Amino acid sequence: MNSEKKPTRADVEAAVKTIIRWTGDDPTRDGLQETPSRVAKALEEYFRGYDQDPEAILQKTFEEIEGYDEIIVLRGIRFESHCEHHMAPIIGRAWVGYIPDGRVVGISKLARVVDAYAKRLQIQEKMTAQIANTIQDVLKPQGVAVVIKAEHHCMTTRGVHKPGTDMVTSRMLGAFRDNPLTRQEFLAIVTEDSKTS
């Protein structure tokens, strides 16, 4: 991030008015007068991930797990993001799994980590790696697996116009990378969930 002063909300609203004029419309007409304010508010929501620390989300863990050391998977975590190339929506689902090594995290925290990275300008490959790497670095489990399946509007509603096309990325660390049977078990869970949804 550069050291320039962050633009104010008024700056953002002025920029939206400029965009409206650039499209050929009049930002002062009745239907558009409140649009710059609404867009600024929407952008705050779309990009709130920049104000979140994914590592901090995972700090509270539980050690009373009776020796549980099998796969834990949170399936089909829906997310909305925006591509950093066109600022077009990326709508998808994430499957996040890990094998604990003495401690677990509340499952809602896994969904929050996905959101913290999704609510930024993104490319799917980077987001997949960020989620897996953060879980590995903070929880230090035996392994982490992340699969993301998403539709990119920069390709489905503009450009090549290929609706119904989605992209799948994965990141396997530790036991999921080293043990083919562990990886296969996780991917079977992902595949089964994809068929039923």
Residues taking part in catalysis: 83-86, 124, 152, 154
Per-residue 3-state assignment (H helix, E strand, C coil) for the chain: CCCCCCCCHHHHHHHHHHHHHHHCCCCCCHHHCCHHHHHHHHHHHHCHHHHCCHHHHCCCEECCCCCCCCCEEEEEEEEEEEECCCCCEEEEEEEEEEECCCCEECHHHHHHHHHHHHCCEECHHHHHHHHHHHHHHHHCCCEEEEEEEEEEHHHHCCCCCCCCCCEEEEEEEEHHHHCHHHHHHHHHHHHHHHHHC
